[in-house]
Structure 1
Amino acid sequence: MHFRYLGNSGLKISEIIYGNWLTHGSQVENDTATASVHAALDAGITTFDTADAYANTAAEKVLGDALKGQRRQSLEIFTKVYWPTGPGGHNDTGLSRKHIMESINGSLERLGTDYVDLYQAHRYDYETPLEETMQAFADLVRAGKVLYVGVSEWTAEQLRAGHALAKDLGFQLISNQPQYSMLWRVIEEKVVPTSEELGISQIVWSPVAQGVLTGKYKPGAELPEGSRATDDKGGASAIKRFLTDDVLTAVQKLQPIADEAGLTLAQLAVAWVLQNPNVAGAIVGASRPEQVESNAKAAGVELDEAVLARIDEAILPVAVTDPSHTKSPESRVA
């Protein structure tokens, strides 16, 4: 495994990060989830990403149980706050001081730890003053419950405002967690240059585009039985945007490039996002331990300029690049 610094900080994380968004507490049984976490550890992965909203808090509990007995100091545990949890009451969502303070305590209990290495604002909250949110994060850092602070899916302008407030309050905003893959490149025009200027790294999710970049979905063919595209617990809606014939045809053009590099298509996709110097780590999920073992092999892979050019030629015409797609929900009030 290879390691990179997260933002302008001294924290090192594994290039491959194990995440449990659509799996733990919902798609897979707990024993399979635990086996996948242990496979990640065996592959040298030390960084684990979750969120209180995943499976309405169940994912955090599954991850915490799976990591029991591990040396805490050897792990980097990330979680997030924003989306509704519990019964979804009027204060059970957003980035108010009340919701942040209550959420961190619940997350720590479920994860079985006294602190998280990185606490992330899961989206930008337009309805809470940014000063209130950042002050709450500053207080958690000073209390020792949170070591570092990051965000997820914030625009360049939001990153700049959050970074300035954090600096005034005596802590650093060091990371952003956006969707990023060969097919979803909306951060490249604005978010990445701004982040490089501010000392913020990207921790990217869905580097294989919900599984489309594995190549298992074929143009004009039936969806594979048991795949994410047929899952009604959230996977199908997340992958739908990529299941068009033009996208799937373009993905098939990547296969010979992967073959020549000695990689699977999924490994090529993960390695591709890691070529971006502003990316500190790529989050991979798994419904089976073997998937973790395979994806971890993308760490340390270097793709030369000629290979990157061939990938762009094959996939860029169908990729989403418009930076306006980087945004949080406009309102959380029904």
Structure 2
Amino acid sequence: MEFRHLGRSGMIISEIAYGNWITHGSQIEEDTAAACIRAALDAGITTFDTADVYAEGRAEAVLGRALRGERREGLEIFTKVYFPTGPGRNDLGLSRKHIMASIDASLRRLQTDYVDLYQAHRYDTATPLEETMAAFADVVHSGKAHYIGVSEWTAEQIRAGHALARELHVPLVSNQPQYSALWRVIEEEVVPTSEELGIGQVVFSPIAQGVLTGKYQLGAAPPAGSRATDERGSGFVARFLRDDVLERVQQLKPLADQAGLSLAQLAVAWVLQNGNVSAAIIGASRPEQITENVAASGVKLDAELLGRMEEILAPVVERNPGKTAENAPKLRG
């Protein structure tokens, strides 16, 4: 396992992180989830990402139980706040009230005194940014989080949040966007802004919800148990299940073979070639998936192979930077 700094901060994280969106607490049984986390630890992963909304809090609880007994100082635990965690009007968003309630609930479920990174899961248009950042600052100053980050914020939102964080003397060090060889919307605006401000990307979906593994075949039904057959993730993967995308993904197979990699390893390695990426988050429903994907750590792809990937995928890559704002919630309620 290779390691990188999280943005321009002093904290070092594993360049492949383990995330438990969809799987833990919902898609797989807890013993399987625990086996996946053990496989991640055995593979050298020290960075674990979750959120209070995943499986209505159960994902955090599963992660907390699985990591119990591990040396806390040797782990980096990330969680997030924004989406609804209850039926009340204040059970969502980035108000001071919700942030303060949510961090305490997350810590209880995770069975830890602090998280290493506390992230705004989306931008909240219904709460003044000053209120949100002041609440995050109090979370950090109280010792309940070491660093703060954001997820799927636009470049303009990141810049405004970073300016307030500096005034409040708290380290805003990361952004968590979707990023893969098929989804490159952060490259034009978010990445240059982040590089300027010292913010690192902790990217999710580096294998495009499984599409870049090549398991979805042109003209064939999605494999049983795949993300495309799960109602919680099917909306995310649907955008990639076009014939032209699936056909071009299959054209990557000779390049992966040439590099001695599986298609999944090639996809994760491709994301890690971006110097602004601090970590790529992988998920798993089976321990062997982790073992496979972790092999992408430390891989250096040569310019010729990267150029061929660009040629093959160029017609089907999404690059529009406006997609970040388009996919963000416009209103809380």
> 1:285 corresponds to which residue?
283
Deviation at 1:322, TM superposition (A): 0.2
Identity %: 68
Task: Tell me the residue number matched to 1:71.
Answer: 71
- Normalising by structure 1, we get a TM-score of 0.98
Whichever residue aligns with residue 105 of structure 2, its letter is G
Deviation (angstroms), 1:40: 0.1
Is 1:31 paired with 2:31? yes
Residues 175 and 202 of structure 1 are in contact (CA less than 8 Å); yes or no, is this contact kept in structure 2? yes
Does structure 2 retain, via aligned residues, the 8 Å contact 1:182–1:316? no
Q: What's the secondary structure of 2:149's corresponding residue?
A: strand
1:178 aligns with 2:177: yes
Number of residue equivalences: 331
The offset of 1:257, in angstroms, is 0.4
Distance 1:325 1:278 in 2: 19
Name which of structure 1's ranges 114-123 and 165-174 shifts more when overlaid on structure 2: 165-174
Counterparts of 1:302 and 1:90, CA distance in 2: 48
- How big is the shift at 1:229? 1.0
Q: Runs of 5+ in structure 2 lacking a partner?
A: none
1:302 alignment partner, one of 297, 300, 303: 300
Q: Deviations over 1:55-84 (max 9, x none)?
A: 010100000001011000000000000000
CA distance in 2, matches of 1:163, 1:241: 32
Query: RMSD over aligned Cα, in angstroms?
Result: 0.7
Q: How does 1:71-150 map to 2 (within 5 A)?
A: 71-86=71-86, 88-150=87-149
**Residues 1-334 of structure 1: pairs in structure 2 closer than 5 A:** 1-86=1-86, 88-232=87-231, 234-327=232-325, 328-333=328-333
Shift of 1:225: 2.0
- Give the AA of the match of 1:177: Q
Distance in 2 (CA, whole Å) between partners of 1:45 and 1:242 is 28
1:179 Cα deviation (Å)?
0.1
Opposite residue 132 of structure 2, the aligned amino acid is T
Amino acid at match of 2:215: K
Q: TM-score, normalised by structure 2?
A: 0.98
What do the CA deviations read for 1:84-139 (whole angstroms, capped 9, x no partner)? 003x3100000000000000000000000000000000000011000000001111
- Give unpaired runs (5+ residues) of structure 1: none
Q: Deviations over 1:181-217 (max 9, x none)?
A: 0110000000000000000000000000000000011
**4+ residue runs of structure 1 moved beyond 3 angstroms?**
none
SS of 1:317 mapped into structure 2:
helix
CA distance in structure 1 between the partners assigned to 2:295 and 2:18 by the alignment = 13
